[in-house]
Amino acid sequence: MKHPHISLLKTSLICALVLCLSSLCAHMEASSKSTSPASVAGYGKDHFVIGELLYETDFSDKENWVIQVEQKDELKLKERIQIEDGILDLYMPGKGCTAWLKKKFSGPITITYEVLCPIGTDNGDSIQARDINNFWHCSDPNKFDAIFKSTDTLYHGGFASYHNMHGYYASTGGGGHVGNQTTRFRRYPRHLNGKDIPHISLNDKDGKEDYLITPGKWHTIQLVAYEGMAQYLMDGKVLYEIKYGDTVAVESRENGQRVTTEQTYTREGFPAYTEGFFGFRLVGTHHLYKNLKVYRLESK
C-alpha cells in the first residue's frame, strides 16, 4: 500500500518541475526576443510587435542581389565589391551605387542591418564617411523588374534614375563632412513623366550632430513599413516617422525653385505602400554591411 505522504510529495515535485520548466521557457522566449536587433519605438509602440524572421543573410546568396554602379569613366579610382566573413564591402569613390535585394516583401515588415563607414581606406585617398541611404517597399507600376537586368538604362546607379519609383527613402549624413550634412526622409515618386511632382520630404534633422554618422562606428539601421506608417531608426533612435493624421512637409518645384508646404498625411492623398523591394544606397563613399534581417510586424 502506497503511503499518502509519498504520493503527495511526488505530486508536489512534479508540479514544481512543471512550473520551473514553464518559467525557463518563458525566460528563453523573452531572451530570444530581447536579442533581436529590431526595436519597437515611437509610433510603433502603440501598433505592432516584432514577429517572425522572414529573411537573413551573410551575403553568400549572391544570386539574390543586383548591384548597380553609376558609370563615370573619368574617375581614377575603381569601385570594389567584396563579400567576406558575412560582410558586404562596397567601396565607391566618386560614384553612386545601389545594392538591391531581389526578394519582394509584402505587408508590414521591418528591416534591420549594421553598417560601418570606415575612417580610412586602403588606398590612402580622401573618401568621406557619408550617405547611409535606404530604399524600401519600392516598386514601379510600369517596369520595375527591369532593375534586375544589367543592360537596362532606366535604373543605373545614378541617384536621379530612381526618382520615378514608388516607395520610401531615408538617408543619414556624414558626421564631420561639411559637404554632406543631410539626414532625410522622402516618399517617392519624385518625378512623373519627366517632371518634378510634389512628394513628402522631411529634412528638419539636417546638420544636427546627434543625427549624423559617426565614422568608424557600427551603426544599426532599422526601416519600418506598417500600413502607411513609415519609420527610420538609427541605433534604436527614431530619426523620422510618419503616420496618417500627421502634418508633413511636401516638396514641389515652381519655376525651377524648390517650394515646401505643409499637408496632412492621409490615406487618400498618400496611399500606403504594401509591398516592394529593399536596397542599400551610397554615393562616393565606403560602406561595410552585415547582419541584414527582415521581420514580419504583427498588430498588437
Q: Tens-of-pLDDT digits for all 300 residues of the chain?
A: 545 544 544 444 444 433 433 443 443 343 334 457 899 999 999 999 999 999 999 999 999 999 999 988 777 778 999 999 999 999 998 899 999 999 999 999 999 999 999 886 555 566 888 889 999 999 987 665 666 665 556 788 999 999 989 999 999 998 655 567 899 999 999 999 889 999 999 999 998 989 999 999 999 999 999 999 999 999 999 999 999 999 999 999 888 899 999 999 999 999 999 999 999 999 999 999 999 999 999 999
Q: How far apart are CA 101 and CA 104, in angstroms?
A: 8
Q: How far apart are CA 293 and CA 58, in angstroms?
A: 10
What's the length of the chain?
A: 300
Query: Cα 194 from chain centroid?
Result: 27
Q: How many CB atoms lie within 10 A of CB 235?
A: 14
Provide φ and ψ at 266, rounded to 5°: -120, 160
- Cell 527582415, residue located: 294
Q: How far apart are CA 239 and CA 244, in angstroms?
A: 18
What residue segments make up the domains of the chain, in order of their start? 1-35, 41-299
* pTM of the full structure: 0.86
Mind listing the pLDDT tens digit for each residue in 53-84?
999 999 999 999 999 999 887 777 789 999 99
CATH ID of 41-299, from 3.30.2350.10, 2.60.120.560, 3.90.850.10, 3.40.30.10 = 2.60.120.560
Say if CB 286 and CB 114 are below 8 A apart.
no
Mind listing the pLDDT tens digit for each residue in 82-120?
999 999 999 998 899 999 999 999 999 999 999 999 886
Give me the amino acid identity at 255.
Answer: N
